[in-house]
Chain A
């Protein structure tokens, strides 16, 4: 069976790639489980990359939650969305806490939870035309899991405006807001921009990078798993509301 998330090494650099291109790498429980297995491998003692690059196969980075999985057809069906959101919450926490420096190579659309994955990485490299943002409220959903990461990335004031007003933006706007750290002018230039960031990080002392990341994590609240799990619960609850389900079902049609 095709792995839904793959791992490849190039020396001290590991490449974790979401691999559901036909579904724009939308977050399903299976793909999240595959990503968690990649994290297991990365956390093994024998594997100690200095840099991990997270990317999406195909033309999207990650289109957000797989909406097919979160439409509740029968009573009590909240368990799947709850499991999905909890898995996403734990994955973001694992990415943030891993000793290696993480780089999101935002190769295309990064929406909702997918944009959250980009924000949780230590650095985000994107191109000017990729679509990013948090349109959750437009779908009557609550971006509770990703909110803490966006707060930490761009500051509370800007995060509040973006999460409450929904919508999406392009890579240039995301760069101006601080969601993207390094901007490539076009999709064609993304690889050289991402490679330059990887080379620059790889020139750093591994211990120095690790100590610095650990310190930043300890100062900005990144260690707090509880807030993410509460976010997952809140998000699942909103998702199961009539308002959200009606909106999701209308969208499917």
Chain B
């Protein structure tokens, strides 16, 4: 469900890590999140830039909620939340460049992954956002990453108001760094960007990236823990369990997060 390929240009390498579950709009499973971490670590070892992209019509529709519904004790939700936090943190802390190609839609956990990128490309009409409080789920896990990209005011509004927003709005607020007209243009610009960043002298890049992380408090041990804990505190509660159980996945395309 995660596949990877190495692309080369002028002796530089980019590891394209694909969310490869198009029939489920790349809905995230715990295994996929673990694989993102291991692919990122391999890219770093091999000196490659990393490009995170999605197969099919959308980048990622969020957690696999069918799996969450099947585990009524909240155990899958806990694995997904922890895995998401690990994946975003790994990407953010990676010494090499991380580019995210968010075409079509990046929702909830899918949108959280954008917070791990150094550079995010989306199309103007891409559907972005964290509309999960409706499900009794807190997007708190995303907030430590989101607020590295947008103002605290926007982070607050986006986390609390269960509404999606467009790629263009994401661009205006700073979550998206480049906006293209059509979804099918996203990948090429993201790949070009990954090669451009891969060409930046390596030591300067990693030192600068880690310095920026440090200024923002990201380098602190487990800076993401408070957000993860807030989201975890709701798993298994009646509110979350009942709202998740009441969700008719038939209403949602391929059982992904609405």
Contact = CB atoms under 8 A, between A and B. Distances in A.
B151 A201 contact: no
Contact of A207 (B147, B163, B239): B239
Given A201-B161, A211-B138, 17 more contacts: A122-B160, A153-B153, A154-B151, A155-B151, A181-B157, A200-B161, A201-B162, A204-B162, A205-B134, A205-B137, A207-B136, A208-B137, A211-B234, A215-B138, A218-B226, A219-B152, A219-B226
A203 B134 contact: yes
B134 A153 contact: no
Main secondary structure of the interface of A (DSSP, over half): helix
Contacts of A122: 156-157, 160
Main secondary structure of the interface of B (DSSP, over half): helix
B156 A216 contact: yes
Interface of B: 132-140, 143-144, 147, 151-157, 159-163, 173, 226-227, 230-231, 233-234, 237, 239-240, 243
A11 to B, nearest CB: 17
A209 interface: yes
Contacts of A6: none
Contacts, number: 109
A154 B152 CA distance: 7
What are the 9 A-B residue pairs with the smallest beta carbon separation, nearest first?
A: A204-B133, A205-B136, A153-B153, A215-B230, A220-B152, A215-B140, A208-B133, A155-B151, A181-B157
Interface residues of A, number: 30
A167 interface: no
27 contacts: A119-B153, A123-B157, A153-B152, A154-B151, A155-B153, A178-B151, A178-B173, A179-B153, A201-B160, A201-B162, A204-B133, A204-B160, A205-B134, A207-B237, A207-B240, A209-B160, A211-B230, A212-B230, A213-B160, A215-B140, A215-B226, A215-B227, A215-B230, A216-B155, A216-B159, A219-B152, A219-B226
A112 B238 CA distance: 43
A58 interface: no
